[in-house]
Amino acid sequence: MNAFGYFLHRFGSRLGIHSSERHRWTAINRETQILSEAEDLLGRLAWPDVKDLDELTGEYWQIRDLEQQQQVLREQSQEADERNETLKEQLHEMQETAEQQFQSLRDRKSKRMEAALGLMHDIEELKGWKEETKKKFLNLKSKIELMQRLGQADEKISGEVEKTESAMSKLKEEFSGDLGDIKAKTDQIEALEKEVTGLNQELVEGKARLKRDTAELNAEIGRLSKQIADLSAKIGALENTKSGFHFTVGHFLSNHIETRDPQIVPVLRKHRQLILRILYYRRSIAYNQRLTRVGKRR
């Protein structure tokens, strides 16, 4: 609120048109908060210029000391952060290389398991064929026995017996071959299973070795991360302390806006735009407070 607004409200009040006291206090509280923030900003901007002011020289040196402490901590934090990033890159490279090796082992394991499954399928087919062959063989054997009982002297029967015995001999050879194939494939499956077991062991040992090799890196990364967090907390604590001194500087200058002190005037002039805003809010708060008092008297 400016002077025109103040007199307008005073005139309206005389005519019975006035804002509620609650509205006035809301405006005062809002503008007081804005004024406080503006004074804090003024202190942050103007503190380097108050070195020679007797009233603020102590705050100047306090802020300067805090700035130097923060700079040291920031350099330490940056150094720790750069070291941490380097270690993280090393860790990532180690993990990436190990993962490629693990994937190669997993691929080999998968191929051998697929091969074993294929052999198992073949064995199941051979077993089915073996049972069929065995059934044919037994049928032919029964046929011979019946024909021999029916007539051994019958040339026709004798010829059929010879043909049947030849077929049985052929089936017997096939049966023996099937058994050999089943055994060979079973041996291959056992060999593949041993390879799979070995590959599993390589995976387990590789992961354990990676864990051992990266343990020191992980520990150092954790330590550096904690150090960075601690440094950040210290920098933040110093910043909070600085904020108090900034506000002291800004509040002092705000309270001396209309001074003619030759040491203070140049500082105020340097930050003229912000000073004008502070002056506006200080007067607006004063006008609202006066209107509140006028309202109470009525």
pLDDT number for residue 134: 62
Model confidence, pTM: 0.62
Query: Average pLDDT over the chain, rounded to whole?
Result: 80
Q: Is 126 within 8 Å of 220 (Cβ atoms)?
A: no
97-128 pLDDT per residue, tens = 999 999 999 898 888 888 888 877 766 666 55
Q: What is the pLDDT along the chain (298 residues), one digit of tens a residue?
A: 444 444 444 434 543 445 555 666 677 788 889 999 999 999 999 999 999 999 999 999 999 999 999 999 999 999 999 999 999 999 999 999 999 999 999 898 888 888 888 877 766 666 555 565 566 556 656 655 666 565 554 555 555 545 555 555 565 555 555 556 667 777 888 888 888 889 999 999 999 999 998 999 999 999 999 999 999 999 999 999 999 999 999 999 999 998 999 999 999 999 999 999 999 888 888 777 676 754 444 5
DSSP 8-class letter at 257: T
Dist. CA 57–CA 49, nearest whole Å: 10
CB 59 within 8 A of CB 249: yes
16 Rama class: left (phi>0) / alpha (psi -120 to 50) / beta: left
At 148, list the tokens. 């021999």
CB neighbour list of residue 131: distance below 8 Å, 6 or more residues apart:
none
Count of CB atoms situated within 10 Å of the CB of 96: 9
* DSSP per-residue codes, 70-136: HHHHHHHHHHHHHHHHHHHHHHHHHHHHHHHHHHHHHHHHHHHHHHHHHHHHHHHHHHHHHHHHHHH
Q: What is the dihedral of CA 194, 198, 200, 205, to 10 degrees?
A: 160
Residues 6+ apart with CB under 8 A from 34: 281
- The tokens of 247 are what? 């506000």
Tokens of 105: 């082992």
Using a 10 angstrom Cβ sphere, with 0-12 exposed, 13-18 middle and 19 or more buried, the burial of residue 266 is exposed
Find out whether 126 and 176 touch, Cβ atoms under 8 Å.
no
